[in-house]
Amino acid sequence: MTNDAETPKLVPVADGFFVRQEIDNIAWVDLGGYAVVVDALEHPEKEDEVFSALARTLGDVPVRYVLNTHTHYDHVALNPAFQRYFGAEIINQQIAPLGPEGRWFRGSRRSLHMLPAPGCHTEEDCVLWLPEDRALFVGDLFGWGLIPLTRALRNETAVLLLETYDRLLAYDAAVVVPGHGPLITSGELRRWTEYFRWLVAETARLVVEGADDDGIRRQLAPPQDMRGWWRFLAWKHEDSVSKVLRAVRRGLLTVAAIQRGGS
């Protein structure tokens, strides 16, 4: 499964809507009259391959905008190529900041809403919603079991994360495109919130019982139904356990806060 998820493949989401899925994902969507690209990979040398796939699937529809969910290096490498090739405008929270209400992009076929959802991975995270396709881009807010925060995990950030996930779940998306790895549905988003709450509750319980760190790690086995999640067993579960354990031990993360925050 791991290798398969890391072999580049072109996933058709709908007519004129494709995700080139690999470790890093890039998508292009024909809005009708023009196309938008979502995220722009890590490796500039993929330009030729990406542009020929784009031409093969969209014909001569011009790319007018590149929308970056955030500006980490592994989401922006092809930005200059799209500027050069199409004169595309780059939209992200660094160079063209959106207000809290976001921005709509409309064409004759479909529309797209780019909306800031800051603080869960970076201060500049955006999500993108395509109502006609019920498709949601979540960037790196979903990390296959990873706690996406780059800030410290504590009550405030945990609650923000859960509240943001509530907003994502409210879309009731049929297709969810993460920044990395295979496409998912709202089911995996929901499963992650359950997993996160479970991790916090179980860790807190074991800490109160006086268990040591090794004992806690042993007892918090990866849930059976998540064992097939991309890279989950390799390191993501272990990383999440460490982060939660550290925050709980320091008294920064409590079950009460998590239960209040989000639904």
H/E element, 129: strand 126-130
Q: Is 140 in the site for Zn ion (CB under 5 A)?
A: yes
Q: Closest distance between Zn ion and the C-beta of residue 72, in Å?
A: 4
- Among left, alpha and beta (phi > 0; psi -120 to 50; other), residue 201 is alpha
Considering the complex, state which of residue 24 and residue 30 has its C-beta at the smaller distance from Zn ion. Answer: 24
Q: Using alpha carbons, list the distances in angstroms from residue 127 to 15, 140, 160, 185, 190.
A: 21, 10, 15, 15, 16
Which CB, 140 or 188, lies closer to Zn ion? 140
Least separation in angstroms between residue 77's CB and Zn ion is: 13
| Shortest separation between residue 126's beta carbon and Zn ion, angstroms | 12
Q: Is 72 in the site for Zn ion (CB under 5 A)?
A: yes
Q: In Å, how far are 18, 62, 151, 187, 228 from 243, measured between CA atoms? A: 35, 44, 11, 24, 21
Q: Rank residues 126 and 244 by Cβ distance to Zn ion and give the closer one.
A: 126
Task: Show the tokens assigned to 46.
Answer: 């993929």
Residue number with CB closer to Zn ion (72 or 243): 72
Among the listed ranges 51-59, 138-146, 195-203, 222-230, the one in contact with Zn ion (CB under 5 A) is 138-146
Instruction: Select 72 or 113, whichever has its Cβ closest to Zn ion.
Output: 72
Task: Tell me which residue has its CB nearest to Zn ion.
Answer: 72
174 vs 105, 113, 187, 220, CA distance in Å? 20, 16, 9, 31
Which chain residues interact with Zn ion by CB under 5 A? 72, 140
